[in-house]
Amino acid sequence: MKMNKLFNLALVSTMAILFTNCATIVGGKRYHANVMVKNAPKADIKYLGHSRGKGNASFLVDRARANTLSFEIQEEGCDSQTFQFHQRTFRG
């Protein structure tokens, strides 16, 4: 009986480690984009035409759009700026 519990514990532990690593490598179909505007805490951050936050924003981006990520920063009294990213990077 004790050997069976030990085997089950080892099996569950191994599966948890393997499935966690797989999810990290594959990553799913969306990821969190984090945008931070230094020295402008009131700057409006827009993605796909919708406001996502002021000065700091975190929003979901489809991985299919990762090569064409574009967002706009707009602050009162200043011209708006658009930032575009055309390359994916892998963070290990």
**4, pLDDT greater than 90:** no
Instruction: Write the DSSP symbol of residue 45.
Output: E
Where b means 16+ CB within 10 Å and e means fewer, 65-84 reads ebeebebbbebeeeeeeeee
pTM of the complete model: 0.61
Q: What is the mean pLDDT of the chain?
A: 78
Q: How far is CA 46 from the centre of its chain?
A: 16
pLDDT tier for residue 72 given thresholds of 50, 70 and 90: very high
Question: 39 versus 8: which is more confidently predicted?
Answer: 39
